Each structure stands twice: as C-alpha cells, then as structure tokens.
A and B are shown apart, each in its own frame.
Chain A
Amino acid sequence: MDEKITSLEALQAIARQAGEDHRKYRLRLMVCGSNDCHLTGSNEIIDAFQEQIRGRNLEDQVQVVATGCIGSCSMGPVMTVWPEDIFYMKLRPEDVVELMDSHVEGGHPVERLMYHDPATGQAIAHSADIPFFARQHPIVLGNKGIIDPESIRDYIGQNGYQALYKSLVALSPPEIIAEIKTSGLRGRGGGGFPTGVKWEFCANTKSDVKYVLCNADEGDPGAFMDRRIMEDDPHAILEGMIIGAKAINASQGYIYCRAEYPLALERLYAALDQARSMGLLGKNIMGTGFDFDIEIYKGAGAFVCGEETALMTSIEGKRGTPRPRPPFPAVSGLWGKPSILNNVETWASVPRILFGGGEAYAEIGTESSKGTKVFAVTGSINNIGLVEVPMGTSIGEIIFDIGGGVSGGKQFKAAQLGGPSGGCVPAEYLNLHTDYEAIVKAGAIMGSGGMIVMDEDTCMVDMARYFMDFCQDESCGKCTPCRVGTKRMLQIVENICKGEGRPEDLDLLESLSHTINDASLCGLGQTAPNPVLSTLKYFMDEYRAHIEDKKCPAGVCADLFESPCQNACPVEMDIPGYIALIRAGRLEDAYKVLKRTNPFPSVCGRVCGHPCQNKCRRSQLDEELAIKNLKRFITDHASPPRPEPVPVVHPEKIAVIGAGPAGMTAALEMKKRGYAVTVYEALPEAGGMLRWGIPEYRLPRDILSREIREILDTGVALKTNIKIGVDVSFDDLKANHDAVYIGMGAQKSAPLGLINEDAAGIIGAVEFLRDYTMGRNVRAGKRVAVIGGGNSAIDAARTALRLGAESVTILYRRERKDMPALEAEVKAAEEEGVAIDFLVAPLEILVSDGSIKGLKLQRMRLGDFDASGRRRPKAIEDSSFELEIDMLIPAIGQQAELDLLFPATRIDDRTKDTITIHAGGNTIAVNRDYSTDHAGVWAGGDIVTGPAMVIDAIAAGRKAAISMDRALRASKGEQPWHETEDRIEIPVEVDEEVEEQFQIRIRELPPAERGRNFREVELGYEGNMAALEARRCLRCDVKTEE
C-alpha cells in the first residue's frame, strides 16, 4: 500500500529515489515495448536479454526496461542504452548475444546494429545525431524511451505531478487559466480553439456540477499520437485533467477512449489506480481538500463520437449524434452541465506548461500557433512514425529531413493533412509552415496531426473517394446535408473512378461541397467535402483524365485499365500479352503484338525509360519484371511481321516534318490509314535523336536502320537533307499538303548563359553527339567536363570517354537522387570511370587564347523546395574553386529552332491561323487531340513537351495520326479508319505458387571490355533466361471470375 503524497518534498523524494534506483545499474537497456515493436519481435528480444543477464549474473548491473515507443516504426525493434545514449535499430533475437558480449560486457558498441546515414553509409551511434530524433522537439512526447509506462515512480522521477502540486497549492484557478492563456495552447484535436479561453468560459459559468472530459476517441485514420500518449505516458493526461478540474472547479472527469485501443485502456486503468493509491486522484488530493476522480468510458466504434457534443451524448448512453451549438459545452455540456472537453495531446501539454511556465512555452512556434505539435507521418515515407516539432516547421522538413523522404525512391505527390476532414497539399506546398492558419489557407487543416505521404502511385481521385466513403459510412444520419449529401458525392466520385464520370460532375461536386460545408450540423459533415475540394483544386488533371479519357494515370482505379504496366505505357502496349507469348515460346506472335502499337520495339527494348516497370506489381513481392529486356529478347530472336506496302485510298496528302520517332510513327500510322505520306528530314538520314543523340553502344545503328526500313517499306516517302524553313518554307509546304505534322524535336543545346561560351573547346551535348555520328572529326579533350544530369549528359560523358578523354567529370547542381537520367545509365557511367560531382554549379568559364582552360565552380547547398518538390540549390558563400579542363559539354537542356519555321512576323500575327508558341520560344501549344490553332497543322513529341522519352514521342505520333485521320474523314462526312487485325490468342498460364525471385539480370559487356569502342554494352537475354523472367509475371490483366 503506497504512502499518500501530501507535500512537494514527498514528491521530490520519490523522484530522487527513482533516479537513485536507476543509477544503481551500470547499464540500462531501454527496449521499445510498444505494440508496434512488439509486432516486429521486441518481446522476444526483451526475453532474450533477461535470460542472458540472468545467465551471466548481471542482474545487479544491467537492467532491461520495456519503454514506450522511442522512434520510427520502420526502424523497429529499437533499443537505447543508457547512460551512454547509444541507439540500436532493427534488432533480432539473434543479435542479443553479440550485444551482450561486445557492448554490455566488452564495452564496445556494435556498429552494424546502429543507424546508418543513407547517403554516406556511416554508422551514427547517438540518437542526438540522427536527424529523425535530432530535429524533433519532444515536449508532449518528452518521456519517450525514458520511462516505464507502467511505473508512476518513473513518471514522478521526470518531474511528474509537480505541476499539479503547484496548481493546487501555489496558484489560484484564475492564475492557472492565465498561465494556459499565456502559453497560447490551442486545442490539439483539430479545432485549434484557444484552450485557456475555453476554460475561462467554463470557470465563469455558475454551476454546482461541472465536468472535465478527455477526448481519446482518435478516429482519424492515420493518426495514432493519442494512442502513443495513452499507452506510453498516461499520467501526463491524468495530471493535466486534474489541473483542469482545479481550474474550473469540477469534481468528476471522464476519459472517452475508443474501444479499438485495448492496451491504452489497460494502461489508463492502471495509471488511475496508481494515482489513487498515492493520493494524487480521488478524495482530498495531496491533502489539499480538493476532490476529483476520473472514470473511463469505452467507445463502441463510431467515428462521429470524436465530435465533442456527440461524445457527450454517447456518455449519456444514447446514439452518438451531435447537438446544435450554441449552447457550447463550456456552458452546457455533459448532462447539460458546464464541461471542458479537450484532446489527449492538449491534456498532456498542460502539466508541461504549468511546470515550465506559459511564457517559455509561447517562445516556441509561430505568432498564432504556439508550442509543438505531434504529427503522425505515415504512408509512402521512409521513417514512419510520430514526429514532434515546433509549430511552423515546414512540411518539407518533416517529410524529407526528419521522415527520410519518400519510400521506394518514388516521387512525392501530395501530403494529406488533417485526415478525412482535411485536404491534400501538392509539391508546391512543401515550404508550407505547419501553423493552423497557414494550413487552412492552403486548403487543408491541421486536424489532429495526421500527415499521410502520397507518391506517384497514388490516384488522387481514388483518395477523394476513399475519404468520402469513410465520412459517408460514419455519418450519424441526423442532418440531411451530411446524410444525403455525402452519399450523393460518394456516388459521383465512385462513378468517376469506374469510368462513368461526366464533365458536369466536376461543377456538381463543387456546389454540393459548399452546400454540405455550410449546412451540416457538426464538424464531420462540415469538413467531409474537404478532400474532394482540395483534390479538385490541385489535381484537376487527374479528374479530367478519368472523366474525359477514361484513364487512371496512377494505375489504381481498376475499372479503367487491364494491367498497371499497360496503363503506364504511353502507347498502352499489351505487355502481359507479349510476356505470356514469350513464356509459351511463340515469339513471332509476340513480335506481332509489339508492332501493333509500337513501330520501334527493338529501339525501345534498348533505350526506353520503362514507365511500365515502375508500376509493375511484382515489385511489391520482390522486384519488378525486366519488361524492357523481355521486349528486346523478342526482337533479337524472332523475325518481325513483314511490312506490306499499303495502297493509297484517300486523296489527302500528308507532310511530316522530322524523321524522328514522333514523325516516323505519325507517318506510319497515316500510311496504314491509306494516305500518301512524305517525311521531310533536315539531316542526311532518318532517326532524329535515335540516330543523332543516342550513342551506338546503347543503340546499334543497324538495329535502328532496320526498323526505319520497315516503316518505309509500307510506302512512306522520305526526303532527307531538306530543312523546312530554309530549303522549303513552311507556308509552301502547307500549301502543297492537306495536313502537316510537326515532329521536328528540339535539336539545339540550351546555353549556360556564361561569358566566353563561344570559346573553342565548348560544344553542346546534342551537337557533340550529332557531329560524332555524322562522321565529322570530333575529338574529346584530355580533361572533359559535362554539365547536367539528364540522359544527354550521361551519353555525352560516356562518348567522350570512348573518344579518348583521360578524365571525364559530370558536374550536377543537385543530388544524385534528383538526376533525371536513368539509374542504370548513371551506374554504367560510373563503372566506366566517369566521375560525378554533386551540388556544384559553374560560375565562370576560364579562357586562354580563345580556348577553354578551366571552370570556376561553386559549391551548392539545398535550400527551400521548388514547385517540382525538389530542393532548390543555393550557392554557398565563398565556396568557389577551379577545375582545369580543356573541353566543356553543356547538357542542361534542349531548344527548338522554331524561329526558322515561323519567322518573327508569323508569331506575332494575330489572325486565325497562328501557331501558339509557349513562353521561352521552344515549344508549341497543342490541344488535347494534338491539333494546333493553325488549321491543318498538328504537332507532337519534343517540340510540344520539351525533351521527353522515346516512347512519349512514339505515343504523340500515334495519337496525333488517329486525330488527323478522324478530322480529315469527318470533314468529308466519313468514318475514321478502323483497325482490322488478326486476333492473337494470348495463353493464360498463372502459377498457383509464387516464389520470391529477383529479376534475371541481362548479360552486359564487362566495363573492362568497353574501353574506347562503341560496342553494345547491354547484351540481352540468352537461352532460357527470358522464359524464366517471363514466368515471374503475375498476369495482373487476368481477372478471375468467381
């Protein structure tokens, strides 16, 4: 039976004793005993340690403590060793013996079990040096990893209940309230109402009975900060509530805790018992004559009961429907009596504020939002878990610096703030400060602090549907706007996801949203439309794609696509189809499938950026399929379908400018449809960037020539060495043809914008590669520098090496992960000896006798985020240095020579037939169907988008041809061309058992053999390698019928 505490001295004595008890041990092993680490095996580790300690007779020296959650869920199970503060992560029971031998007994911490910096690989021993911990500011979670949640003495040992003493003995109720007001504490459940003001209203309301309530219903999916506090530091909540009770003069309190948290309930019950037995709760608290006790009320699974009036109604034993306000709970709450209802996190902040003072608390945070906030950062993030930071910390810092960035190397897309009541903010808002008002301005809410990170694989329309489904399900039904409104909105969004959306739906969703916002009875209904509104605001393109194109770009809405790979491919190649045909050994049929939508499968099988592979579902199991290599295998080992000349059946003559992938595909597709097509190419041979931009070691010339030949064999006419705008004017060309397709690409390197850029030894990447391919006498310098991070930079660097450079360095102004180039290319370059320097930018070109002799460079650091979601490089003061070089290859972008095609007078012409050129002068604007504003002129490829992938250009050519044919035939009142192809039966062979197996790697020329030649580096599959790889396909396109 515990002694009842009736004085500060008694409290302090217990605190001292707790400290002494701890210091008795030479080492304390604080193992995370949270539920989550438990699931990853922390219990076995705790047991193993205890066994080892017993076995080695170290019980007096070493203590094992199961604490609450210490850190990120993705690091678990974790352990901190006190007093040295050494942090270990991802422990397994097998590691225990080594830890005992090496660290506990031997005094040598075990490096391999520590946290390792993801960039440098270095081990970091102390959590104070690990960004995930170092950048947090724990106040509410201040006891994490330090106390045993089931020990009130540990809590007292950390200054626990001293604030209570102060509030009972040294402060009057108005003084308590004043302290809370000074602190600026605002409700942490989501409302953000100033806590001190709420208490004041209640304190000023006369009543014999008042209530103190704790909202522990935490219903927001993705939020678990309240659960952590209840499980790991329950006394903080109790202490806060008792202080609150004193402030308003209440004698009864309730904690309404959701039933889905059994451990939290258990710990709360235990904490109440402990507090009562020490006289800190119940009658005559701390001998001061103040009575207050707390009861726990278990929820029964209704999200709406997190709303304050619904919560009170639920405690009253009724259906948890909200009540109209006014009257507000502070005046008329539970059982009609004045009540203060606060969230768990708010209550847990109270003792800290009273202990340290409201002023000190108010020094943290922003002008309007004081103190810290606990965010639950989940979803597509590396360090999943709770993050407590000062208000005002930017979202980007939380996600990237503390959270470790987006998991799986994926692109950040949006962060959902505030759960189902909140909204999503896209990459442009990564600099947004987490402040109540600032977040509302961006279209979201702080809410309870849920922050769900979404990446490129998330469909924002599906997320809106998901949240609306949730709100509709949880709607209590009392008021019509919410009950009927959310149902109707859900139906509309579901239809959109199923491919049955209509253009009118967008306006309808907006107007319904505003009505439901305005007219609903409680916060659930009022905020239910927010996710839809914010996704409409920032991701309208996705809604349009679902409604107008019946496409789900992210590859989530299953009704809109066959398989995620096919959906991701710009030309929607039947990937599962041709993979199944490889598996069945029917390579000729597979080749036919390839050629249906892609005239350059051999090329793509070597150089495609494979967006399909990024969506391959197999990566959820082990590793994505090597789709690109499989495609190449078909073209290497089978004969293509023989191209037949296609007769001309239409009178219209088609001109195509540019024999690159966009132009040649458009030409082929128009030829298939029965037109006479002529391609005009400025250079001596067809191919565009495929020939002049991609080096031979990636794409052998004969492979490219063969596929061009197959296009020409259908009857497409090709005229080379004719530059439109120089040899023939655009107007003349247009006059002689019925339709023109502009696929001229972007063939000029963008300048760096530095003085002396015209010195000898400086040549743009595009020009350098083209000159070499054309057979001009191009030599590489001895010491070559390439500026840029895209595929052109890599191509130029690897080519320079092969042309005899002694050293080649790529200079990139951001970090490795930001490079647009394909990872495989970067790796290959490094294997061959190309050096890459990151976070460096050119300042000055140093010249001697008209030739380049060096570069003055500057070190960069990463600053705020830009709209692309990447950090903007900022120069570091006085960090410049010089690099000696004799050749510089800028590869920072490509431009088009539009001024040749459309001389200045034409661009300014405001008549009906004008081509709209985007600001910057390098790209043409087109409508959704690839037509320009100039009648009879279509465009596609790099000339429209800027440099993109080969497959994007092929898609642009194909889709434009479909539009051109449709328009030309419609003008004659005829139907467009309809594909009549042979049906190829795709075998369905799906494995019952799926074993984990990584990608079969293709053979490659070893780096040592690559030397100074241009032999192909990737060598493809041989023998049965392709069949084995094809077996890994999960056939996501096969839908089983029940």
Chain B
Amino acid sequence: MKPIQSGPQETADEFSQGQWDKIDSVIAAYRGKPGALIPVLEEVQGISGYLPEVVQRRVARGLGIPLSQVYGVVTFYSFFTMKPRGRHQVRVCLGTACHVRGGHLLEKKISQDLHIQPGEVDKDRLFSLEIVRCVGACGLAPVMVVDDDTHKQVKAARVEEILAGYRNREEGHHG
C-alpha cells in the first residue's frame, strides 16, 4: 500500500465545479449525524467515480474528522476505490456456486481479453474488472454483472460477445 504523499496527487481539476458542488451538498446534508462517514462516501463516490486523496480531504474537512479516519474506511471496504473505474464495471462472481460451475475460467477469459487483472481498468477506461464474492444469483451460476445487468450462465465463449455489446453502445453514443 503506497503511503499518502504530502500534497494532493490529483489536482482538483480532475472534477468539474458541478461535481464539487454536489459533493459539498452531500457532506452538508450529513454533517453532525453520527456514523455518517460511510453513507457520505457512498454518495460521493457515486458523483466522482472514485475516491482519490483530494476527495477524501474534502470529506474529512467537511465532516470534521481526521483524514486518517477517512483513509482507513476507504481502504477497508471493497466498494470504495482510490483508482478510477471504467465506464462499465465488470464484476465476476466467484461465490461458491459460481466457482463450482467454472467462475474462475470466466475470470481468466475476461482478464485475457481486456489485458487487465481484477482491480484494474483497461487502457481505454472502458471496462474495469472486479471479483465479487456472491451476488446471490447462485441458481444461475456462473454469473457476471456489468453495471446493473446481471448475465447468467456465462460460458467463456460468450464473453467477447457480451463485452462487444457494451463497446458498441459506447460507439453509438459517440457516433
């Protein structure tokens, strides 16, 4: 784990004024409520996409708690990330039922196709890959979730097709 270096790594320019305003209003809404740090971070991550040091400092200052406490919480919970995520999050379930039905082969295939490891984002910042432990859809193992879409009984052969669907959607967007 790299230690925080003095001085912010990312500049505040990474995020727009609109995003900072939204972040501030979330903090304001929860200020004073005990135990609010986690819900605040969840909402803030929904705005900024990830929680780099500059955002953590904002939250710490706004809620009146030490940066170390914010950093401790961000690094403890797997839902929080300090690395940027892709536009589409690919989550491969490696829960027991999925594991028994070949989930790891699926993970390998996606890793190979996107040239990334779990926890990383591909070079186009289009897909980030994550392992999750169980999304509770065990009846349809092996399961792969992309954003809010749950794909069931995914055979390694179908991975390309599924990812291509999201790629095309992006192209259509920009076309």
Contact of B137 among A35, A318, A474 (CB under 8 A): A35
Known: A259-B42, A300-B79, A316-B35. Is A73-B139 also a contact (CB below 8 A)?
A: yes
Partner pick for A260 among B42, B132, B157, CB 8 A cutoff: B132
Which chain A positions have C-beta within 8 A of B69? 318
Decide if A320 touches B76 in the complex (CB within 8 Å).
yes
Which residues from B are CB-within-8-Å of A73? Answer: 138-140
Question: Interface-forming stretch among A379-387, A518-526, A890-898?
Answer: A379-387
Known: A317-B34, A319-B73. A298 touches B155 (CB 8 A): no
Complex contacts, B85 vs chain A, CB 8 Å? none
Q: Are A379 and B137 in contact (CB under 8 A)?
A: no
**Least Cβ–Cβ distance between B146 and chain A, in angstroms:** 13
- Interface set, chain A 532-565, CB cutoff 8 A to B: none
| Bound: A335/B100 CA distance, A | 41
C-alpha gap A469/B110 in the complex (Å): 21
- Say yes or no: B150 contacts A302, CB within 8 Å: no
Contact with B along A399-425 (1 / 0, CB 8 A): 000000000000000001001000000
A221, CB-defined interface residue at 8 Å: yes
- Tell whether, in the assembled complex, residue A39 and residue B140 are in contact, meaning their CB atoms are under 8 Å apart: yes
From A319, A380, A385, A454, B76 is in contact (CB under 8 Å) with A319
A378 and B138 contact, CB distance less than 8 A: yes
Within 8 A of A (CB), among B114-165: 132-141, 148, 150, 152, 155, 157
Give bound CA distance, A218 to B95, whole Å.
12
Q: How far is the CB of B155 from chain A (nearest CB, A)?
A: 7
Question: Which of A72, A315, A379 gathers the greatest number of chain B CB atoms within 10 Å?
Answer: A379
| Residue A450 at the chain B interface, CB threshold 8 Å | yes
A355 within 8 A of partner (CB): no
Contact partners of B96 in chain A: CB under 8 A: 221-222, 378-379, 416, 419, 450, 452, 466-467
A315 and B157 in contact, given A36-B137, A261-B136, A300-B79 (Cβ under 8 angstroms):
no
Kindly name the residue among B35, B42, B69 whose own CB sees the greatest number of chain A CB atoms within 10 A.
B35
Task: Check A327 for interface membership: any CB of B closer than 8 A.
Answer: no
Chain A residues with Cβ below 8 Å from B73 are 317-319
Contact A72–B138 (Cβ < 8 Å): no
For A39, the closest partner residue in chain B by CB is B152
In contact, B34 and A302 (Cβ under 8 angstroms): no
A276-299 at interface with B (beta carbon < 8 Å): 297-299
Residues of A within 8 A of B166 (CB): none
Does B97 lie within 8 Å of A385, measured CB to CB? no
Instruction: Give A15 to B48 CA distance when docked, in angstroms.
Output: 47
- List the A residue with the shortest CB-CB distance to B40: A317
Does B97 contact A319, Cβ atoms closer than 8 Å?
Answer: no
Q: Is the CB of A222 within 8 A of B134?
A: yes
Q: Is the CB of A298 within 8 A of B78?
A: no
Q: CB of A889 within 8 A of chain B?
A: no
CA distance in complex: A620, B133 (Å): 23
A314 at interface, CB cutoff 8 A: yes
- If A317-B34, A1042-B112 touch, whether A259 touches B79 (CB-CB below 8 Å) is yes
Question: Considering the chains assembled together, what is the distance between the CA atoms of A221 and B134 in angstroms?
Answer: 5
Q: A343 to chain B: closest CB distance in Å?
A: 15
A320 touches B77 (CB 8 A): yes
Q: Given A222-B138, A419-B96, does the pair A317, B35 have CB atoms closer than 8 Å?
A: yes
Q: Within the complex, which residue of A315, A380, A452, A470 is in contact with B35, where a contact is CB–CB below 8 Å?
A: A315
- B148-A39 in contact (CB<8A): no
**Any chain B CB within 8 A of the CB of A907?**
no
Q: A1025 near B: Cβ within 8 Å?
A: no
Contacts of A318 in B (CB 8 A): 37, 69, 72-73
Inter-chain contact B133/A300, CB cutoff 8 Å: no
Cβ of B86 within 8 Å of any chain A Cβ, yes or no, is no
| Contact, CB under 8 Å: B95 / A221 | yes
Q: Is the CB of A454 within 8 A of B100?
A: yes
Q: Determine if A302 and B133 form an interchain contact, defined as CB atoms under 8 angstroms apart.
A: no
Contacts of B34 in A (CB 8 A): 316-317, 335
Q: Does B39 touch A at the CB level, under 8 Å?
A: yes
Interface size class of A (residues with CB under 8 A): 35 or more
Chain B residues with CB under 8 Å of A863's CB are none
Beta-carbon contacts of B79-104 to A below 8 Å, as 1s and 0s?
11000000000000011111111100
Give A714-741 interface residues, CB cut-off 8 Å to B. none
Interface residues of B in 34-66 (CB under 8 A from A): 34-39, 41-42
Shortest beta-carbon distance from B81 to chain A in Å: 10
Residue in B100, B139, B141 whose CB lies within 8 Å of A458: B100
Contact A317 B157 (CB under 8 A): no
Q: Of B77, B94, B112, which contacts A301 at CB under 8 A?
A: B77
Contact indicator B139/A74 (Cβ below 8 Å): yes
Which B residues, 13 to 38, have Cβ-Cβ distances below 8 Å to chain A? 34-38
Evaluate contact between A621 and B157: CB separation under 8 angstroms.
yes
Task: Give the distance to chain B from A636, nearest Cβ to Cβ, in Å.
Answer: 33
A219 interface contact, C-beta 8 A? yes
Which range contains the number of B residues in contact with the other chain? 35 or more
CB of A142 within 8 Å of the partner chain: no
Checking B38, B140, B157 against A300 with a beta-carbon cut-off of 8 angstroms, the contacting residue is B38
> Within the assembled complex, what's the spacing in Å between the Cα atoms of A1021 and B72?
66
Query: A384 contacts B35, CB within 8 Å?
Result: no
Q: Quick one: which of A301, A316, A452, A620 contacts B79, CB cutoff 8 A?
A: A301
- Which residues does chain A contribute within 8 Å of B134, judged by CB atoms? 219-224, 260
Residues of A within 8 A of B37 (CB): 317-318
Shortest C-beta distance, B175 to chain A (Å), equals: 28
How long is the Cα–Cα vector from A320 to B38 in the complex, in angstroms?
A: 11
Q: Residues of B contacting A223 with CB < 8 Å? A: 134, 136
Question: A40 at the A/B interface (Cβ < 8 Å)?
Answer: yes
CA distance A378 to B135 in the complex (A): 13
Q: Compute how far the CA of A454 lies from the CA of B94 in the bound complex, rounded to whole angstroms.
A: 16
**CB closest residue in chain A, given B65:** A317
**Distance of A36 Cα from B79 Cα, bound (Å):** 23
Pick the contact of B38 from A220, A303, A314 — CB < 8 Å? Answer: A314
Question: Which residue of chain A lies nearest to B39 when distances are taken between CB atoms in the complex?
Answer: A298
Shortest CB distance B113–A (Å): 11
Residues on B with C-beta less than 8 A from A261 are: 136
A987 within 8 A of B: no
* Contact of A376 with B by CB under 8 A: yes
Give the residue name and chain of the A residue nearest to B150 (CB).
A39
Complex Cα spacing A302 to B138, Å: 19
A324 to chain B, nearest CB (A): 19
Tell me if A227 and B150 are in contact (CB < 8 A): no
- B residues in contact with A297, CB < 8 Å: 35, 38-39
Q: How far is the CB of A469 from chain B (nearest CB, A)?
A: 9
In whole angstroms, how far apart are the Cα atoms of A378 and B80 in the complex? 30
Report the minimal beta-carbon distance from A1038 to chain B, rounded to whole angstroms: 14
What's the least CB distance linking A223 to chain B, in Å? 7
Q: How distant is the Cα of A261 from the Cα of B135 in the complex, in angstroms?
A: 7
The residue in chain B whose Cβ has the minimal distance to the Cβ of A384 is: B139
Q: Which of A36, A220, A302 contacts B140 (CB 8 A)?
A: A36
Interface residues of A in 212-250 (CB under 8 A from B): 218-224, 227
A157 to B133, CA, bound (A): 37
**CB <8 Å contact, A452 and B100:** yes
Please report the C-alpha to C-alpha distance between residue A220 and residue B138 in the assembled complex, in whole angstroms: 11
Chain A residue contacts of B139, Cβ below 8 A: 36, 72-74, 76, 378, 384-385
| A317-B38 contact in complex given A221-B97, A303-B133, A376-B138, C-beta closer than 8 Å | yes
* Nearest-Cβ distance from residue A316 to partner chain B, whole angstroms: 5
Q: Is A262 an interface residue (CB 8 A)?
A: yes
Q: Are B79 and A476 in contact (CB under 8 A)?
A: no
| B-side contacts of A219, CB under 8 Å | 133-134
Closest CB of chain B to A853's CB: distance in Å?
A: 54
Other than A40-B140, A221-B98, A620-B155, give 17 A-B pairs with Cβ distance below 8 A.
A39-B140, A39-B150, A39-B152, A221-B94, A221-B134, A222-B96, A224-B138, A299-B77, A299-B79, A300-B42, A300-B78, A302-B76, A317-B36, A317-B73, A379-B101, A454-B100, A621-B155
Residue contacts A-B, CB under 8 angstroms, 13 given = A221-B97, A221-B99, A221-B134, A222-B97, A224-B136, A260-B134, A301-B77, A301-B79, A302-B78, A317-B35, A416-B96, A452-B97, A452-B100
Among all A-B residue pairs, the 7 with the closest Cβ atoms: A73-B139, A221-B95, A300-B77, A301-B78, A224-B136, A221-B134, A317-B35
